[in-house]
């Protein structure tokens, strides 16, 4: 009963061009290819910048940035090994055979799951840094950071390589798929279990961690305000205003991080569970849109976790300006050059 629908859906992603394309269809293909190509290049370049920055500059080698570098590696691989072939499938159809289709699907599930798990580890790391600052160095030792990073890469294997090689996702399904297409079909048990491991559990970790961070930030801001109210003069009002600005900035940053993550991945994983439960009624086009919306999260991650950081922005400027080849640039403190210049002038004037 579902096979006819699936065959019909797969022809969209596997059109071999036997019938001539109209002008509008050609323009649609060009526009789609251009947009997806920009997303792919942006994902690859942005995450590559982060990898080079953390690997090169000594100041950026921190426990938190270890998670960010590993996240960037996962997102970089999404941009290099997953997005180009998914883009080709959307625009030109699948022409790489059934074996590589399975390899591509495994890499897709593995890397996207790894990326999401890294986001939850970053939230966990920030939770300890903000809520337990005195215990942070002990709790997030080099050994524990390494263990968490290994989990971010090994756990995705449980929902990608092993079950997909054994066709666990197809057990119990009586479907006739288009022989030359590359559709990822999942049964109900795999859809639920994989979605829990890949998204819903990490999502709960992120929501709980960032919710607690927001509460602590508000509490610290109120304490600062109460201390400031015990003093008179402009300095107290300035301190109170500064604490309120920090609270708003923290709330805005956390809202952007959570909002972007949910916007990108929530539609796909809801659809991933609802589609088999309802008998696969959803059109292939909609599934592709939601999948690429999830891919875009790998494009946004460098912006959210690095580009908002002044040290990273300075590192990017040095890399793109080819200044990393100068002497001792590796130990650069990555401070604003104008601030450093003013400090040097003040020192000389003494």
Residue-level pLDDT at 261 = 95
Neighbours of 180 (CB within 10 A): 15
Residue-level pLDDT at 336 = 58
CA distances from 237 to 156, 190, 226, 232, 244 (A): 51, 57, 11, 8, 11
Residue-level pLDDT at 239 = 55
Per residue, what are the HEC states of 296-315?
A: HHHHHHHHHHHHCCHHHHHH
Residue 3 has pLDDT above 50, yes or no: no
* Structural domains in the chain, sorted by start: 13-187+285-337 (1.20.1070.10)
Angle at the Cα of 274 from the Cα atoms of 272 and 279, rounded to 5 degrees: 105
The average pLDDT across 7-33 equals 66
Q: Which of 37-46, 211-220, 290-299 has the lowest mean pLDDT?
A: 211-220
On average, the pLDDT of the chain sits at 83
Q: Which two three-digit tokens encode residue 270?
A: 């809801």
Q: Which residues of 69-91 are buried (b: 16+ CB within 10 A; e: fewer)?
A: bbbbbbbbbbbbebbbbbbbbbb
Residue 220 has pLDDT above 60, yes or no: yes
pLDDT digit string, tens, across residues 223-278: 766 665 555 555 555 555 555 565 566 667 778 888 999 999 999 999 999 999 99
pLDDT digit string, tens, across residues 63-86: 889 999 999 999 999 999 999 999
pLDDT digit string, tens, across residues 87-132: 999 999 999 999 999 999 999 999 999 999 999 999 999 898 888 8
Residue-level pLDDT at 340 = 44
Half-sphere exposure of 223 (CA within 13 A, CB side): 6
pLDDT digit string, tens, across residues 161-189: 999 999 999 888 877 667 678 889 999 99
Residue-level pLDDT at 289 = 95
Half-sphere exposure of 286 (CA within 13 A, CB side): 12
The average pLDDT across 153-163 equals 93
> Contact 155/113 with Cβ under 8 angstroms?
yes
């Amino acid at each position: 009963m579902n096979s006819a629908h699936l065959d019909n859906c797969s022809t969209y992603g596997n059109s071999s061009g036997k019938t001539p394309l109209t002008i509008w269809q050609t323009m649609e293909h060009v526009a789609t290819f251009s947009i997806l190509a920009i997303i792919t290049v942006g994902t690859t370049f942005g995450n590559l910048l982060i990898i080079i920055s953390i690997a090169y500059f000594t100041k950026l080698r921190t426990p938190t940035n270890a998670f960010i570098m590993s996240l960037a590696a996962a997102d970089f691989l999404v941009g290099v090994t997953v997005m180009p072939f998914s883009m080709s499938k959307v625009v030109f159809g699948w022409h790489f055979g059934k074996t590589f289709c399975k390899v591509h699907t495994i890499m897709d599930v593995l890397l996207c799951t790894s990326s999401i798990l890294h986001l939850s580890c970053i939230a966990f790391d920030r939770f300890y840094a903000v809520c337990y600052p005195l215990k942070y160095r002990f709790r997030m030792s080099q050994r524990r950071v390494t263990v968490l990073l290994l989990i971010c890469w090994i756990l995705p294997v449980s929902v990608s390589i092993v079950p997909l090689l054994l066709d666990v996702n197809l057990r119990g399904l009586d479907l006739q798929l288009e022989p030359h297409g590359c559709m990822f079909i999942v049964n109900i048990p795999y859809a639920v279990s994989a979605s829990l491991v890949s998204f819903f559990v990490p999502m709960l970790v992120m929501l709980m961690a960032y919710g607690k961070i927001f509460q602590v930030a508000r509490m610290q801001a109120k304490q600062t305000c109460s201390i400031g109210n015990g003093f008179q003069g402009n300095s107290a009002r300035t301190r109170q205003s500064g604490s309120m600005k920090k609270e708003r900035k923290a709330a805005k940053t956390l809202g952007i991080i959570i909002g972007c993550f949910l916007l990108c991945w929530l539609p796909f994983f809801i659809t991933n569970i609802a589609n088999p439960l309802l008998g696969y009624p959803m059109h292939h086009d909609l599934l592709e849109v939601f999948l690429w919306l999830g891919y875009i999260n790998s494009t946004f991650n460098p912006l959210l976790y690095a580009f908002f950081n002044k040290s990273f922005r300075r590192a990017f400027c040095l890399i793109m300006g080819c200044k990393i080849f100068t002497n001792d640039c590796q130990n650069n403190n990555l401070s604003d050059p104008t601030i450093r210049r003013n400090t040097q002038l003040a020192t000389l004037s003494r």
